[in-house]
Copies of this chain bind each other. A is one copy, B any other.
């Protein structure tokens, strides 16, 4: 139930937030602002912006940015239930060159990068290629 998700993240359960969350839940890939707007029937754009912002801050969803002005969002794992606005993810972001969708893909272990002189605290990997579904066809 999406009520549970919201409550867990200390967000008030409102009809609008449930609607927005539903859009995320029914997609297995990352979605854009446009996608959400298209899926919501009637809505107030300002409220949507604010909803998205609080979802990100509370760790309900996370932002994915990729070259080419691609800005999408996807649900967070259970892991990130913190109020800090920081997100920990054990996955990489993958964009399919065929269907153009962006997915969060779990991987066993994120390789550690080391750079002399730099202290790396977080890292994120973005990849492009052909996704599972498009490989088959």
Contact = CB atoms under 8 A, between A and B. Distances in A.
A128 B117 contact: no
Interface residues of A, number: 35
Contact of A113 (B68, B111, B117, B130): B111
A25 interface: no
Interface string A104-137: 0101000101010111111111111111100100
B97 A118 contact: no
Contacts of A67: 62-65, 124
A20 interface: no
A63 B135 CA distance: 28
A63 B71 CA distance: 14
